[in-house]
Amino acid sequence: MKGNVEDRAMDIASYIIETGATVRSAAKKFGVSKSTVHMDVTERLKKLNPSLYRDVRKVLDVNKSERHIRGGIATKEKFSKLQ
């Protein structure tokens, strides 16, 4: 996604809040790296729009707290396909 960095940060943050998306899925959707998404929604957004930053931070914190569960499910599915 080419264009204004600030607009991209706002768009990615809105997408994450609306869908509950992970950083990885948001990166895939917007065609940027995970590092770029993380930088946009933590560093840049904090300065651009603090209230939007707080909202996206809540979603990211939930995703972080659940990532071990998603990893376990993915591993279970992987090995169930091998049987």
- For residue 38, what are its two tokens? 């993380």
Does pLDDT of 74 surpass 90?
Answer: no
More confident residue, 16 or 76: 16
Phi, psi of 20 (to 5 degrees): 70, 25
Residue 53: how many other CB atoms lie within 10 Å: 19
Does pLDDT of 1 surpass 90?
Answer: no
What is the structure's pLDDT at 66?
74
The pLDDT tens digits for 46-68 are 999 999 999 999 999 998 887 66
More confident residue, 27 or 80: 27
Listed by start position, the domains of the chain span: 5-82
What is the structure's pLDDT at 81?
81
